[in-house]
Amino acid sequence: MIHPTAIIEPGAQLGADCEIMAHAVVTRHAILGDRVAVYPGAVVGGDPQFLKFDRRTPSFARVGEGTVIRENATINRSIHEGQSTVVGARCFLMAGSHAGHDCVLSDDVVLANNAMLAGHVGVGAFTFVGGGAGIHQFVRIGEGVMIGGLSRITRDLAPFTIVAERDEVSGLNLVGLKRRGFPRETVRELKEAYRSVYLKNGDIRRLSADALASGAFASAEAARFLAFFAEGKRGFARPARRGAAEEGEARSET
From 102, 108, 156, 167, active-site residue: 102
Name the catalytic one among 64, 66, 100, 101: 101
Write b or e for each residue in 144-174: b if 16 or more Cβ atoms lie within 10 A of its Cβ, otherwise e. Answer: bbbbbeebebebbbbbbbbbbeebbbbbbbb
- The verdict on whether 215 is a catalytic residue reads no
Residue 114 and residue 131 in contact, taking contact as beta carbons nearer than 8 Å:
yes
* Parallel, antiparallel or unpaired: strands 30-32 and 37-38: unpaired
Please pick, among 46, 119, 131, 248, the residue that the annotation labels catalytic.
119
**Can 23 be counted among the known catalytic residues?**
no
CA 186 vs. chain centroid, Å, equals 22
Integer Cα distance of 248 and 242 in angstroms = 10
101 is catalytic: yes
The residues annotated with a catalytic role in the active site are: 101-102, 119
